[in-house]
């Protein structure tokens, strides 16, 4: 994983939210992917349609505008390359006509009559030259278009990545991560593929269709009319079959999504499945869904597979009629036999660009839908812009003041109404309360992951809105219950908390977090590479590394969210001692679930429904016999039960 953008520089991972809002997508649940299943010729399954096709297309074209000159060259190259290829059958027909003329004269006994092979050789040389030129033009065309497409998508992808860096945390909380990832990867790849391949194919197909019609008309208008008459019949048959097959493709999509979901669920929870002996039930459900997928897939592939034989049958009827008509015209001396041969070639080639254009239209429909999904992110509301002349605290002390702050995740749901808090340097503030009380919300506001609706928050007397977000967040160090480690060495993961950290500093931080011992027991020690999910070490060891990271960062304000929940009791005691040493000289906010861990806090804030309802140390709050005392006693009563 790449390191975070400097403006989002944190000393640990993103914070989980404790609000009760449901996760939202960008317009409904994402449709299941088709996987890698192949469809019939010319079919891609039902394409997802864009809501505003024209508007999105115009916006997508804007990314191609800087390359207008290159696109003009692409069109010229397509015209020259396609034209060179189209003229080929006509020239080959001239060679056939020349050979036929020589044979006929020889059979008629004309003195000195013979096939003029020199003339035929010249014709064939011209033909080879034309095909070679066509290949060169096509190569140059593809080369230029590849550069245009990749540069356009590069600019779009960069703009999208920059946008993601400017989006507030609320965006990522409200949107499914998988859907955002799909837009950044799958949808961008879809746009890239269409720009590079489908656009040139579309230009080539249109030019080919027009060129073939012109060439057929120059040979015989009547035979051209016969060929064109068969087109509506082919289109009707294709549409009829495609409509039937698309119903099956939709069922196939839905069933494939169910199968993927079942496999993922059983794989991620395979230990639970085995623990409860549900292997047979899982296999039965898989077999049932797999059978449904087989039926839908078989029908979809079979029905769509009929398209080519049906079109072939209709086209062959046209070829027969064209051949008969051509023979009649040859006997009457209206056209040459080579022209009949060329016309048959043209009529066979004519259906290919039509089918290709229809398929490209489907591809473009899907691509515009992908572009629309990307533009939805680009149109998202960004974080409030940084101030022009930001204030930077060179040596922050850690005095935190919250003055009459109001906040809500939505306008209709105000969580905090009038919160006031004054925390001095070196104080330890414990925040307790039931789920959804606003504990994590308070920390999110301190780090400006969310903007307050009213009031203000200051650090050392400076309004946090007058500071750059990166500078503000560098003041904080965080250790969360949900650990985050990236794919890299243990040394790099600890050093993530401090730029240009030395080996001595890293080892010192690991020792303070009581992580040094277990690290040295690993085969490669501090150079041990963690995999993507850091599953090659235990959950408790992950937490020790995140604590070491925070210790190394040496922040002015420390945020702990049940930081020792995944370690054993003995290690927890060591870590608590190390953390106490850290907390002596810095302001600390401790989000606690186990109330026994915060008895020594200077101040305990008891929160409920976004408001601070009780304040004091442990003894004072227990004497009040209020909400805190009820929470505290319920935990220990629960243990006794």
Res 203 pLDDT > 90: no
CA distance 78 to 14: 50
Q: Are 419 and 455 in contact (CB under 8 A)?
A: yes
In this model, does residue 615 exceed pLDDT 50? yes
pLDDT tens for 577-601 read 767 767 777 888 888 777 767 777 8
| Structure confidence at residue 327 as a pLDDT band (50, 70, 90) | confident
- Looking at residue 600, the DSSP 8-state letter turns out to be T
Question: Residue 440: which of 416, 474, 472 has the closest Cα?
Answer: 416
Once rounded to an integer, what is the mean pLDDT over residues 2-11? Answer: 39
Spell out the domains of the chain, with CATH numbers in brackets. 25-33+50-378 (1.20.1560.10), 426-436+476-640 (3.40.50.300)
pLDDT at position 36, please? Answer: 35
Q: For the residues 16-25, what does the mean pLDDT come to?
A: 39
Q: Look at residue 345 in the predicted model and tell me its pLDDT.
A: 79
Task: Report pLDDT for 4.
Answer: 39
- Residue 34 CB partners (closer than 8 Å, separation 6+): 45, 249, 252, 253, 256
52-66, 191-205, 264-278, 335-349 — which one is most confidently predicted on average? 52-66
3-state secondary structure of 558: strand
The DSSP secondary structure of 464-480, one letter per residue, reads: GGGS-HHHHHTTEEEE-
| pLDDT at residue 26, rounded to an integer | 46
CA distance 69 to 72: 5
3-state DSSP assignment of residue 614: strand
| Residues 428-467 pLDDT 10s | 888 888 877 778 888 888 888 888 888 999 999 999 999 9
CB 572 within 8 A of CB 560: no
Cα 329-331-335 angle, rounded to 5 deg: 45
What is residue 15's predicted lDDT score, i.e. its pLDDT? Answer: 41
Residue 629 token pair: 């005392």
- In this predicted structure, the answer to whether residue 2 has a pLDDT above a threshold of 50 is no
pLDDT, tens digit, 9 for 90 and up, residues 527-558: 998 876 667 788 778 888 888 888 888 888 88
Instruction: List phi, psi (to 5°) of 18.
Output: -115, 20
Residue in the structure block whose two tokens are 């099956």:
248
Write out the two tokens for 311: 């079109």
Higher pLDDT, 353 or 640: 353
Average pLDDT over the chain, rounded to whole?
Answer: 78
């Amino acid at each position: 994983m790449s390191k975070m953008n400097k403006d989002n520089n944190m000393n640990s991972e993103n914070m989980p939210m404790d609000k009760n809002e449901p996760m939202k997508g960008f317009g409904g649940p994402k449709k299941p992917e088709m996987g890698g299943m192949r469809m019939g010729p010319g079919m891609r399954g039902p394409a997802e349609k864009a809501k505003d096709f024209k508007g999105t297309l115009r916006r997508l074209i804007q990314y191609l505008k800087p390359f207008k000159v290159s696109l003009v060259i692409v069109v010229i190259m397509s015209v020259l390359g396609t034209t060179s290829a189209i003229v080929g059958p006509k020239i080959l027909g001239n060679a056939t006509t020349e050979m036929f003329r020589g044979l006929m004269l020889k059979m008629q006994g004309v003195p000195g009559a013979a096939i003029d092979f020199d003339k035929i050789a010249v014709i064939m040389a011209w033909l080879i030259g034309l095909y070679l030129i066509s290949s060169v033009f096509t190569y140059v065309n593809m080369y230029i278009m590849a550069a245009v497409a990749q540069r356009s998508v590069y600019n779009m992808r960069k703009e999208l990545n920059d946008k993601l860096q400017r989006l507030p945390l609320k965006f990522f909380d409200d949107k499914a991560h998988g859907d955002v990832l799909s837009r950044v990867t799958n949808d961008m790849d879809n746009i890239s593929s269409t720009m590079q391949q489908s656009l040139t194919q579309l230009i080539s197909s249109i030019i080919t269709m027009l060129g073939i019609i012109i060439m057929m008309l120059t040979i015989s208008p009547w035979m051209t009319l016969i060929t064109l008459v068969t087109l509506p019949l082919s289109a009707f048959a294709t549409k009829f079959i495609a409509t039937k097959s698309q119903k099956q493709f939709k069922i196939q999509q839905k069933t494939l999504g169910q199968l993927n979901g079942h496999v993922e669920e059983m794989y991620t929870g395979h230990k639970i499945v085995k623990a409860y002996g549900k292997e047979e039930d899982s296999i039965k459900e898989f077999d049932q869904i797999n059978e449904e997928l087989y039926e839908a897939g078989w029908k979809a592939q079979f029905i769509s597979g009929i398209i080519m034989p049906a079109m072939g049958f209709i086209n062959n009827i046209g070829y027969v009629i064209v051949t008969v008509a051509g023979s009649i015209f040859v006997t009457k001396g209206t056209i040459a036999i080579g022209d009949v041969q060329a016309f048959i070639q043209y009529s066979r080639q004519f259906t290919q660009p039509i089918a290709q254009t229809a398929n490209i239209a489907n591809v473009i429909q899907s691509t515009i839908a992908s572009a629309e999904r990307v533009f939805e992110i680009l149109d998202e509301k960004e974080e409030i812009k940084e101030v022009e002349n930001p204030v930077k605290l060179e040596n922050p002390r850690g005095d935190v003041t919250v003055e009459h702050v109001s906040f809500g995740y939505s306008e209709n749901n105000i969580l905090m109404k009038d919160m006031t808090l004054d925390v001095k340097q070196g104080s330890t503030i414990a925040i307790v309360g039931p789920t959804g009380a606003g504990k994590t919300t308070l920390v999110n506001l301190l780090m400006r992951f969310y903007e307050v609706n009213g009031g203000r928050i200051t650090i050392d007397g400076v309004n946090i809105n007058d500071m750059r977000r990166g500078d503000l967040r560098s003041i904080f160090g965080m250790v969360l219950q949900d650990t985050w480690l990236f794919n890299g060495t243990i040394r790099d993961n600890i050093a993530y908390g401090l730029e240009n950290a030395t080996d001595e500093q890293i080892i010192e931080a690991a020792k303070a977090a009581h992580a040094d011992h277990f690290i040295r027991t690993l085969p490669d020690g501090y150079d041990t590479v963690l995999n993507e999910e850091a599953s090659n070490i235990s959950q408790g060891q992950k937490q020790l590394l995140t604590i070491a990271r925070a210790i190394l960062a040496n922040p002015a304000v420390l945020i702990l969210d049940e930081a020792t929940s995944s370690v054993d009791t003995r290690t927890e005691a060591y870590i608590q001692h190390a953390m106490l040493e850290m907390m002596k000289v810095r302001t600390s906010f401790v989000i606690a679930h186990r109330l026994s861990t915060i008895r020594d806090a200077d101040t305990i804030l008891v929160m409920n429904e976004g408001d601070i309802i009780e304040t004091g140390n442990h003894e004072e709050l227990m004497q009040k016999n209020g909400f805190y005392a009820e929470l505290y006693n319920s935990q220990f009563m629960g243990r006794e039960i």
